[in-house]
Amino acid sequence: MAERHPVVEAARDLRPLILENLEAGEERARLMPDVVKAAGQAGLFRIYAPRDVGGLEASATDVLAAEEAVAYADPAVSWYIANSLAASHVAAFLGEAEREELFASPDRHFGFSGAPGARAVPCDGGYRVSGSWPVVTGGLDAEWCVLGGLVMDGDAPREIHGQPDHRLFLVRAEHLDISPTWQAAAAMRGTASNAARLPEVFVPEGMAHSPSAPLVIDRPAYRISLWLVFLATNTGSVLGVLRSALDCAQGELSTKISSYHGTPVRDEVPIQELFAKASASHHAIRAGTYALVDALVAAGASKEGVSDALKADVYAFYYWSLDTARETISQLYARGTRAGFIRGNPVERALRNLHAISFGSEAGRIFQHDAGRVLLGAAPEVPAF
């Protein structure tokens, strides 16, 4: 295995602090300030940002490993890392002045929603942007948010090469009206993924990123598309949650005595089979993910770039991993011990968090479908593929 960036070890070192603040963060439906501050100082929110703005410019494999490390304690923290990837990636397409403004406070988390909730009206030098988003992760702790939206041509979206002009608008969080909707959430509570509304504000052209924009910082990390990096590394959250459930279930099932017949539960064949399959699933997901992300990093550094075939493998494996992990944790919950039903038990927490992660990834399920098309020899249909 290649040597990991020091930020990965820094992420592991944060686990005790994250666990210490886990209950309090879930209670307030927002990560505790000490956790956000420590994660920022460790470089986790600029892990993928260009060195030009004080970023670590770590590889996608290191991002994956860092997310896995903190997700074992609380996937809300890895979700903050993942959502900050958008600003970090977009920075490579911005002018120097815009990059410096965006990363003037380099340790801050970035809020994010890729949903096209904004409507942008072209005007002199930029756009008049307004809109609303049902979920903007981490907006309460952010200085800047990256928000998806459409550039309008009258009442309809403007088209470029036959496709809607979808942009990521970089907006200061102070302009957002954030509603405390996440207090009612049952899972991933620390992410503070509240609803947000943006009254009309001016966004300069330089802060309205288009996927068709040319790279300004042309280095390997940024030759890989944002959505590909986002989904490939998001398996770190899945792996961390799955491992936490496995470790808890192993501890409980290895010592439990059946209340029905007074023998160890670990001697029951169905339980043995359950745990053997669960462990194998974890190893398969982990080995496959790291191999594919390593291949992605190598392709980004090559002259040929990332092939559609490799993209298809990455997208297909991500959604298979997500579905497999969700099913595995559900079985551990349903066939484990009564302790697993108690709120706050690691298996119970993993169950609800993994289902929330799955829900958050459903909008990208089109990439899985396009992966199937490519693997069958057809061309992808999704423009961002």
Pick 363 or 187 by higher pLDDT: 187
Query: What is the pTM for the complete model shown?
Result: 0.94
Q: What is the pLDDT of residue 106?
A: 86
**What's the pLDDT tens digit per position in 313-356?**
999 999 999 999 999 999 999 887 777 678 888 999 999 999 99
**C-alpha to C-alpha distance for 224 and 162, rounded to whole angstroms:** 23
Given a cut of 90, is residue 131 above it in pLDDT? yes
Mean pLDDT, residues 149-167: 93
Provide CATH 1.20.140.10 ranges for the chain. 224-375
Topology of domain 6-102, per CATH? Answer: Butyryl-Coa Dehydrogenase, subunit A; domain 1 (1.10.540)
Q: What is the pLDDT of residue 86?
A: 96
Q: What is the DSSP letter of 113?
A: E
Name residue, tokens 């979920």.
135
Q: What is the pLDDT of residue 1?
A: 57
The answer to whether 45 and 89 are in contact (CB under 8 A) is no
Given a cut of 90, is residue 167 above it in pLDDT? yes
Given a cut of 90, is residue 189 above it in pLDDT? yes
Q: What is the pLDDT of residue 2?
A: 67
Given a cut of 80, is residue 220 above it in pLDDT? yes
Give the residue from 148, 326, 146 showing the smallest Cα distance to 239.
326
**What's the pLDDT tens digit per position in 83-97?**
999 999 999 999 999
Mean pLDDT, residues 253-275: 84
* φ and ψ at residue 106, rounded to 5 degrees: -65, -15
Provide CATH 1.10.540.10 ranges for the chain. 6-102
Mean pLDDT, residues 44-65: 97
CATH number for the domain whose boundaries are 224-375: 1.20.140.10
Mean pLDDT, residues 151-173: 94
Given a cut of 90, is residue 358 above it in pLDDT? yes
Total residue count of the chain as it appears in this document:
385
Provide CATH 2.40.110.10 ranges for the chain. 110-209
Mean pLDDT computed over every residue of the chain: 94
**C-alpha to C-alpha distance for 202 and 171, rounded to whole angstroms:** 9
Percent share of the chain, pLDDT over 70: 99
Calculate helix-pair angle for 269-300, 308-335, nearest 10 degrees: 160
| pLDDT band at 180; cut points 50, 70, 90 | very high
Given a cut of 90, is residue 262 above it in pLDDT? no
Q: What is the pLDDT of residue 294?
A: 97
Alpha helices in the chain (DSSP H): 6-13, 15-20, 22-28, 33-41, 60-71, 75-90, 96-102, 226-253, 269-300, 308-335, 346-361, 365-375
The answer to whether 257 and 265 are in contact (CB under 8 A) is yes
CATH 2.40.110.10 for domain 110-209, yes or no, is yes
Contacts of 338 (CB under 8 A, 6+ apart): none
